[in-house]
Amino acid sequence: MYHCTHHVISIWGVKNKIDFLSLSYTRHAEDVRQGLTHFDEILREPDGIILSRGNLGIDLPPEKVFLFRKSALYKCNMAGKPVVLTRVVDSMTDNLRPTRAEATDVANAVLDGSDATLLGVETLRGLYPIETISTFGRICSEVISFHISVE
């Protein structure tokens, strides 16, 4: 981010009592690679982290996505930084049900300590926004019930 832009956002943000600002890290492929490589260093700066499952799936080999996500969630939890996941049920943009892999990923994200999930295109332009939210909620409720039952 340019210094001037940072200054303008800082002044505007304070004046307008902004609590949360999300800055996309993706301008060039190299930005993404650097972000993944320097995650520990980046984690020290913000008050929280947003992880995009979709971007991780593009920027990492498939066999590495779960490992990076689990590691990032663990590090965020240990640092006391909230972590928000995105792009978790993309298939529900056009389908009434998530894939089995997506449903499992949502459950694992809750078990791994994610603080929130940001639904986007699935509910903004998706064919089944209400069903998406309902299905997502049921998956999360099942995880919580399971977690309580094994404690």
Residue type, 138: R
pLDDT of residue 27: 58
Q: Are 93 and 72 in contact (CB under 8 A)?
A: no
Q: Give a yes or no: residue 50 inside a domain.
A: yes
pLDDT at 10: 73
Residues of the chain where predicted confidence (pLDDT) is lower than 70: 1-6, 8, 20-33
Task: Identify the pLDDT of residue 78.
Answer: 96
Q: What is the pTM of this model?
A: 0.78
Residue 12 domain flag: no
Contact 79, 39 (CB under 8 A): no
Within-domain flag for 98: yes
CA atoms within 13 A on the CB side of 129: 7
CATH of the domain at 65: 3.20.20.60
> Would you state the pLDDT for residue 54?
78
- Alpha carbon distance 19, 42 (integer Å): 19
Whole domain around residue 111: which residue ranges?
Answer: 23-150
Structural domain contains residue 13 = no
Residue 60 within a domain: yes
Number of domains the chain contains: 1
pLDDT at 75: 96
Instruction: Classify residue 10: in a domain, yes or no.
Output: no
Q: 94: Cβ–Cβ under 8 A, 6 or more apart, which residues?
A: 126, 127
Does 90 reside within a domain?
yes
112-150 as b/e: b if 16+ CB within 10 A: bebbebebbebbeebebeebbeebbeebbeebeeeeeee
16 part of a folded domain? no
Over residues 80-100, the pLDDT tens digits come to 999 999 989 999 999 999 999
Separation of CA 63 from chain center: 19
